[in-house]
Amino acid sequence: MSNRRKFLVQLSVITAAITLPKFARSSVQADDEFVIAEAVEGKLRGIRKDGVCLFKGVPYAGRLSGDRRFKRPAKLEPWQGVRDALEFGPPAIQGDTFNPSSREDCLFLNIWTPANDGKKRPVMVYNHGGGFANGSGAAPGQDGTNLAKLFDVVVVETNHRLGLMAFLYLEDIAGPEYAGSGNNGLLDIVDGLKWVKKNIAAFGGDPGNVMIFGESGGGAKTSCLYAMPAAAPYFNKASIESGPGLRMLPKEAAMEMTKLVFQELNIDLKDWKKILDVPVKDLIDVQNKVPRLMANSDYIRKHGVVGFVPNNFAPVVDGVALPHDPFDPFAPEISKDKPLMTGWNEDEWAFFAMYSRDVGPLKSDFTFEALQAKFEPEFGADTKKIIETYRRTRPNASASDIWMAVKSINMMGLGTIAIAERKAEQHGAPVYLYNFGYKSEAKIPDTDYPFGTPHAMDITFKFNNEVPGAKPGFLSGSKPERFVASHHMAELWTTFARTGKPAAKDVPEWPAYNLNDRPTMRIDTTCEVINDRFKEELAMWRSIGRISYHPLNSR
């Protein structure tokens, strides 16, 4: 198995390390100021703190447990009186990082707003990372307070089903009641978007101006939502960040995974209802075995690796909820008129290397001969061409630098560029391509090599949580310059949410991506537009079939 596959199998666990909240104690203080908002289902009591109203653990759909397992949720029933929205709701059932506070009944969202005053502010709905198996809409790094307070927007984050609980494909064996079961996790997010459409005006938001965005697995979720008919009426623009979801699971692969689950549980397919009574912990144990079982299956031997997180539970291209792969071979026609941002971090692999403990290539004694040996299992006969190209375009780069650059663009960059190209070729709403490039000086553990711009570091930056007085992030380092880069990123994102065109003070105009100039905004303390960035490297990647472009006239 290649290093890329090894990491991706662990992707949800890795991202969850920084995306899961702590639920150990109440965050309500004796002197807190309470505020009331009235949703369609009833009144909610939240907290006003630091100039922002926060409503936590707001239910947006009904029960999932018991006979609702693997179905669409029960209807959300109205409540009498005032319901407290003071504590985060339980996260979804998690994968390898099984969380004792997790619950099947997890459909809650959190709202940060400057005021529930009837003003129509842009609404930013964030899809959390953690692959498709872990994470939460309540992680500290993605706290929406600063975006709401400093940029006058409303931020919403949902919990939704994950892993096997979210994507077990049952409709071929369980019938129409389980239609869409392979996409329940995405359809949960759609239910959250429906709730926003119906209720967000009561929280100072504009239901007619909603942006969806997400990082890593959240970027892949956003890629899918961008292609889903059920989601289309409920958002106006999107941003896919370090998580290009070009392709999802074919139905046949999803059905193979379903068969493996039932085999592990010793349940015959004709007795499928027995799975409704299986304890959650047993389901998670099986979920964690599936990638290995799939990797050794006849299906994978015949068809090759499938899925955003290889051979693992993910959205299913079922022809209905998700009619086709999100961005392969074309951008979705259903969102042709919706502006899009997409991009990746320059040193994505630094994060992956740390958590997979694959830091040998970052040591000072790592040679180009060792680089060749390191790449050959993954790139085979193309290894020499890849190294030669990067040594030519980066003559002062060390073997470690080239390892980082190649692994980073191959992991997240090539798919992101494909999305930008396929969106641009539609000649519809614009797409804006970025590279996040602020360099952290913090060292990758057990090395003297700095993180640079690793995967997931952008979360605290785009939420403007890198500010004076904030505790320095583990990834982002402690240089004060990070405050400037964070403000740039947050302002670009919130302006895009407001207008559909990213812009910020002291940042050059960001032109839409096109197939001639191919402009990319590099985001840092000083931002710059770079045309046709990585031109020679991308020509090489195309020549070996790692990135493909399908012009409209090839249909």
The residues annotated as belonging to the active site are 216
- Calpha distance 362→366 (Å, rounded): 7
Handedness of CA 325, 331, 337, 340 (dihedral sign): positive
Beta bridge partners of 317: 250
Q: How many CA within 13 A on the CB side of residue 7?
A: 23
Whose structure tokens read 């990758």?
A: 444
What letter represents residue 246's amino acid? L
Rounded to 5°, the CA angle 303-307-310 comes to 85
CA nearest 256: which of 217, 313, 309? Answer: 313
- Calpha distance 444→450 (Å, rounded): 6
Q: How far from the centroid of its chain's Cα atoms is residue 394's Cα?
A: 31
Burial class of residue 552 (count of CB atoms within 10 Å of its CB; 0-12, 13-18, 19+): exposed
Residue that the structure tokens 């375009």 belong to: 393
Q: CA 301 to CA 297: how far, in whole Å?
A: 6
The CA-atom distances, in angstroms, between 130 and each of 290, 297, 418 are 17, 25, 23
Closest to 155 (Cα-Cα) out of 128, 188, 122, 187: 122
Residue whose C-alpha is closest to residue 228's, from 316, 343, 129: 316
CB 203 within 8 A of CB 231: no
The torsion angles phi and psi of 214, rounded to 5 degrees, stand at -175, 155
Q: What is the C-alpha to C-alpha distance for residues 430 and 423, in angstroms, rounded to an integer? A: 8
Rounded to whole angstroms, the Cα distance separating 163 from 281 reads 13
What is the distance of C-alpha 282 from the center of its chain?
A: 27
Tokens 């994505």 label which residue? 348
CB-CB contact of 137 with 159 (8 Å) = yes
- Assign 3-class secondary structure to 253-296: HHHHHHHHHHHHCCCCHHHHHHHHHCCHHHHHHHHHHHHHHHHC
